[in-house]
Amino acid sequence: MSLSQQFLDELRARITLSTVIARSTRLTRAGREFKACCPFHNEKTPSFTVNDAKGFYHCFGCGAHGDAIRWMTDQHGLSFMDAV
């Protein structure tokens, strides 16, 4: 089954990424973004940011980067279709 880019873009626009990530990672507001210790690697100083306006997360420590779908596939081990 193939999903259109329009459908995926609309899905991403409807999701508040910080809400999805906050289910399993403790986020702290930092201006317009959220910060946390990265769930993809061990660290003591937060280098993981979530930007709801742009719809992505990024870790400046390990380079992990993605949107809500990528979060579900990488963090929860779901297939792309299951994440959607």
- pLDDT confidence tier of residue 2, bands split at 50, 70 and 90: confident
The predicted pLDDT at position 28 comes to 98
**Domain coordinates in residue numbering, the chain:** 5-82
Q: Where are the alpha helices (DSSP H) in 1-84?
A: 5-14, 17-22, 68-76, 80-83
The predicted pLDDT at position 7 comes to 94
The predicted pLDDT at position 35 comes to 98
pLDDT tens per residue, range 34-79 = 999 999 999 999 999 999 999 999 999 999 999 999 999 999 999 9
Query: For residue 53, what are the CA distances in angstroms to 2, 33, 59, 64?
Result: 27, 8, 17, 18
Is CATH 3.10.20.30 what the domain over 5-82 is classified as, yes or no?
no
| Contact (Cβ atoms closer than 8 angstroms) between residue 48 and residue 36 | yes
Query: For residue 52, what are the CA distances in angstroms to 14, 17, 26, 49?
Result: 11, 6, 15, 10
| Contact (Cβ atoms closer than 8 angstroms) between residue 38 and residue 50 | no
